[in-house]
Amino acid sequence: MRRTIWSKLASTFLLTLMTMPLLAQGSGPGTGMRHYDPKTEVTINGTIEDVQQQTGKGGWKGTHLILKLESASVHVHVGPSSYIEQKQFAFGKGDTIKVVGSKVTISGQEVVLAREITKDGKTVVLRNAQGVPKWSGGRRQYN
């Protein structure tokens, strides 16, 4: 009986060791990455009606904008607030911006996942052309 218990403990320990590298990789690309579609990329110009900080699943804060266009308002998902701050970029109500991003539907709402945003002649790049976030996991691209 002791041998059986030790055998089960050893098996569990080995299985745990073998799966640890998989867990260390994280859950893969974030929600925005799964939804970003280069084929639906649009360029929009508008005025910021509202800046919202929303808390994501992992506890990080994300920046969302409500952008007023000529005929409607659009929700723009920017990215982690910490990344925006690190890039020394800020958004305020009334700012006029240009957004390049993918127009998609998330949870039944049409949004634009921003790839780059230009304000006052300064551009912050948030994703590459395929939609991979500059802030993402093992591919950190903070420069």
Could you tell me which residue, 104 or 139, shows the higher pLDDT?
A: 104
Overall pTM > 0.75: no
Residue 115 pLDDT > 90: yes
The answer to whether the CB of 16 falls within 8 A of the CB of 24 is no
Task: Report the topology of domain 31-139.
Answer: OB fold (Dihydrolipoamide Acetyltransferase, E2P) (2.40.50)
Domain extents for the chain?
Answer: 31-139
Distance CA 87, CA 32 (A): 19
Mean pLDDT, all residues of the chain: 81
Distance CA 10, CA 1 (A): 14
pLDDT score of 112? 97
pLDDT score of 77? 96
Distance CA 60, CA 126 (A): 16
Secondary structure class of 23 (helix, strand, coil) = helix
End-to-end CA distance of the chain: 58
- Residues 21-74: tens digit of each pLDDT: 444 433 344 444 568 999 999 999 999 999 999 987 778 899 999 999 999 999
